[in-house]
Chains A and B, each alone.
Chain A
């Protein structure tokens, strides 16, 4: 995420700091917190698939960001094709959810095929092979995206503006929330992030595969010894993880800070890694908490910059990566890192 993009997406401090006093200070704090939750929802959505895949399979998927980028473009494509100038707000939001479902289905299937055909043959090799393979897949996806976009007359960078043009009016601008001006898109992102969080939590806690995943995240060998075909679970989880990465892309499609661009691949991957490392690789709970920490840190530092308290435009990124470095020094396994027992 560039500094320019960063400064475009920050809160306008004026409505938050119109008057002085404790009440306004509290409103400002709540406003920053709400924006932080919006960012946290985005960070959670882009990171949760990565942590599920690592938790069960021990695979660090470097193609995760590329899938998010593909999700943003595919979601954008659906919106651009279906939504016209006469499309109402509710219909547009309906198309958005339909796009999310379609993109999830397509990328989950693609992810399952990638696991079966590319990753499964190298499970018995060192993790370096998996990293190199997924990094290679990431580069291939990015180059294919560049070629396709160029052939369609769309600039790969910066963001593709057409999908952002489909954003319904109800999500543009700010809304008064208990006397606090809050960007509506952030509230929408909090809502979607919450839906994804609940859906993944239900999957993990209410389904048999979820139980296998949680058990396998602790001890894959023991799960096999109990008669469970853990490789089938790997395929399901890699598919779902890929689908969640793409859903994150659809969520980012309307967000002017992110938006569909080929560079989204790397931007997303960096933030996803920061969140899962701070939370503890493989920990769902850790991903939720770390996304909250990173989102609020991002929101606070962005507010400090926009109010002029700090003039360094890269403050937000520096702070987030300092959080990462601090965690690696103080608690390398992350907040809720699971001790590996049976290997992967």
Chain B
């Protein structure tokens, strides 16, 4: 589904990804874990073309998309649920979803599917997204990411800033989303990431330092502990 091969990405002169490799297979959930600032979010941005790599290759569904514009990559079926949600605060919930469903043959039907999955959103359909709670905004961001008929969903820090009881709702939403969508998940909450994902990549200083199945892996695991503690 997604392959990053020897990717080097910069912000100005800051060398963030330093030859990162990863691959994501169909129908799996892959977690990217690691300390703050090691390049997890940049990996997602690089995959989607928002911060293109200076070197290396990004392949999506077998196609080299390294030099494509973000909208061209997104149109090929890659969705994004960004850090901090980034809902369109002055648009209503329905309008937020309609932007995402712009390419659908029947946008209203797609919105209906989103409401079936997230019934709470239908109640707030005419409310401005900026007036929603953090958890509701996260639901909206996930629904928006799923509406584009995406085969791959990049989810960045979905539990950030949410109360624990809301996080469990978000986890359920992500499980529902993963039923028919491959997912790459960046998550600071290690236990949550391991619960949700099938495999993990541990990132440090812009490269993958460990990878494997999530089964039985805890933050006390010697393989990961030294990379997760400051």
Q: Do A and B bind each other?
A: yes
Q: Which residue of B70, B71, B98 contacts A211 across the interface (Cβ within 8 Å)? A: B98
Q: Nearest CB to that of B86 among chain A residues? A: A222
Contact indicator per residue, chain B 52-93, by CB within 8 Å of chain A (1) or not (0): 000000000000000001110011000010100010111100
Q: A-B contact count, CB below 8 Å?
A: 63
The number of chain A residues with a CB under 8 A from chain B is: 20
Q: Nearest CB to that of A221 among chain B residues? A: B50
Task: Indicate whether A224 sits within 8 Å of B71 (C-beta atoms), given known contacts A211-B98, A215-B99.
Answer: yes
Q: Tell me if A326 counts as interface (CB < 8 A to partner B).
A: no
Q: Tell me if B148 counts as interface (CB < 8 A to partner A).
A: yes
The minimal Cβ–Cβ distance linking A335 to chain B, given in whole angstroms, is: 14
Residues in A with CB closer than 8 Å to B74 are 224-227
Cβ A229 vs Cβ B71 within 8 A: yes
Task: Indicate whether A226 sits within 8 Å of B102 (C-beta atoms), given known contacts A218-B88, A218-B90, A218-B91.
Answer: yes
Cβ B88 vs Cβ A228 within 8 A: no
Residues in B with CB closer than 8 Å to A342 are 86
Task: Indicate whether A219 sits within 8 Å of B99 (C-beta atoms), given known contacts A225-B48, A227-B71.
Answer: no
Cβ B102 vs Cβ A228 within 8 A: yes
Residues in B with CB closer than 8 Å to A211 are 91, 95, 98-99, 102
The minimal Cβ–Cβ distance linking A226 to chain B, given in whole angstroms, is: 5
Q: Tell me if A208 counts as interface (CB < 8 A to partner B).
A: yes
Contact indicator per residue, chain A 317-344, by CB within 8 Å of chain B (1) or not (0): 0000000000000000000001001100
Contact indicator per residue, chain B 160-171, by CB within 8 Å of chain A (1) or not (0): 000000000000
Q: Tell me if A105 counts as interface (CB < 8 A to partner B).
A: no
Cβ B99 vs Cβ A228 within 8 A: yes
The minimal Cβ–Cβ distance linking A121 to chain B, given in whole angstroms, is: 15
Q: DSSP majority for the A interface?
A: helix
Count chain B CB atoms within 10 A of each CB in A215, A223, A342 and give the residue with the most: A215
The minimal Cβ–Cβ distance linking A227 to chain B, given in whole angstroms, is: 4
Cβ A227 vs Cβ B75 within 8 A: yes
Q: Tell me if A214 counts as interface (CB < 8 A to partner B).
A: yes
Q: Nearest CB to that of B100 among chain A residues? A: A226
Give the size category of B's interface with A. 20 to 34
Residues in B with CB closer than 8 Å to A185 are none
Bound together, the chains give a CA A228 to CA B72 distance in angstroms of 8
The minimal Cβ–Cβ distance linking A181 to chain B, given in whole angstroms, is: 41
The minimal Cβ–Cβ distance linking B212 to chain A, given in whole angstroms, is: 30
Q: Tell me if B110 counts as interface (CB < 8 A to partner A).
A: no
Task: Indicate whether A214 sits within 8 Å of B91 (C-beta atoms), given known contacts A225-B48, A226-B100.
Answer: yes
Q: Tell me if B103 counts as interface (CB < 8 A to partner A).
A: yes
Bound together, the chains give a CA A341 to CA B129 distance in angstroms of 15
Residues in B with CB closer than 8 Å to A221 are 50, 70
Q: Tell me if B144 counts as interface (CB < 8 A to partner A).
A: yes
Cβ B86 vs Cβ A341 within 8 A: yes
Q: Which residue of B70, B88, B98, B103 contacts A225 across the interface (Cβ within 8 Å)? A: B70
Residues in A with CB closer than 8 Å to B75 are 227
Residues in B with CB closer than 8 Å to A214 are 88, 90-91, 95
Task: Indicate whether A212 sits within 8 Å of B99 (C-beta atoms), given known contacts A224-B69, A224-B70, A226-B74.
Answer: yes
29 intermolecular pairs with C-beta atoms under 8 Å apart? A211-B102, A212-B102, A214-B90, A214-B95, A215-B88, A215-B91, A215-B96, A218-B88, A218-B89, A221-B70, A222-B82, A222-B88, A224-B70, A224-B71, A224-B74, A225-B71, A225-B80, A225-B82, A226-B71, A226-B74, A226-B99, A226-B100, A226-B144, A226-B148, A227-B74, A227-B148, A228-B99, A338-B90, A341-B86
Chain B residues close to A by CB (< 8 Å): 48, 50, 69-71, 74-75, 80, 82, 86, 88-91, 95-96, 98-100, 102-103, 144, 148
| With A225-B71, A228-B99 already in contact, 17 other A-B pairs whose C-beta atoms are closer than 8 Å | A211-B102, A214-B88, A214-B90, A214-B91, A215-B88, A218-B90, A221-B50, A222-B88, A224-B71, A224-B74, A225-B50, A226-B100, A226-B102, A226-B144, A227-B71, A228-B71, A338-B90
